Amino acid sequence: DAMVIQNPRYQVTQFGKPVTLSCSQTLNHNVMYWYQQKSSQAPKLLFHYYDKDFNNEADTPDNFQSRRPNTSFCFLDIRSPGLGDAAMYLCATSRAREETQYFGPGTRLLVL
Amino acid sequence: GQSLEQPSEVTAVEGAIVQINCTYQTSGFYGLSWYQQHDGGAPTFLSYNALDGLEETGRFSSFLSRSDSYGYLLLQELQMKDSASYFCAVTGGFKTIFGAGTRLFVKA
């Protein structure tokens, strides 16, 4: 089945220790997104790639970076996680930016 | 800018019908989407309206009025498993903004 896959599903890291979350898709969609979602809040867009074109949201902290080495994979790098970065991180894809987004299962990040 | 408003909570009984409203302000509009999210899970796409009118998918229907910047999600024959958060999301200007979500509680 075509899908969006995120690994790991749960990630524990230490304060200040870099962490990388991964997302892959078999939908062959052009757009890949990273969202941060905290408890009882809406998903907050961090950035997205349209093909290789990176689009950062104005309020995304510099601590968050992303890489998209090919169509199928996209990574979220958190350079120095703080306690406030503990959240669910959601990857989504869409064929075009104005089209429906399909989400992966998410990675829950815990910062100790 | 873009903003969405939806109720924070709705409670209904099993078998009933519930409507979750969403009003929006956006610069540029492509469509209104609805997502369901269970606790600890990821948002799951439910429906999408780009044009005015009603879209029906099984027990779920979604309505859009672009002139009123308004839409709603209608859930019929409610089941306990429908207890979840429901997000409306507006796509416009190459960007999708999510509402804060409506928590639906279904009681027996």
Q: Model confidence over A21-71: pLDDT tens digits?
A: 999 999 999 999 999 999 888 999 999 999 999 999 989 999 999 999 999
Looking at residues B64-89, what average pLDDT do you find?
A: 96
Nearest to B87 among A42, A97, A104 (CB): A42
Average pLDDT taken over every residue of chain A: 94
Nearest to A104 among B33, B42, B100 (CB): B42
What is the structure's pLDDT at A58? 87
Question: With bands split at pLDDT 50, 70 and 90, how would you rate the model's confidence at A1?
Answer: low
Are B91 and A98 a contacting pair at CB < 8 A? yes
DSSP secondary structure letters along A27-74? S--SEEEEEEE-TTS--EEEEEEETTEEEE-TT--TTEEEE-SSSSEE
Question: With bands split at pLDDT 50, 70 and 90, how would you rate the model's confidence at B29?
Answer: confident
Looking at residues B95-101, what average pLDDT do you find?
A: 89
CA distance B25 to chain A (A): 16
User: Residue A2 pLDDT > 70, yes or no?
Assistant: no
Distance CA B88, CA A108 (A): 23
DSSP state for residue A112 in the 8-state scheme: -
CA distance A13 to chain B (A): 19
Looking at residues A74-81, what average pLDDT do you find?
A: 97
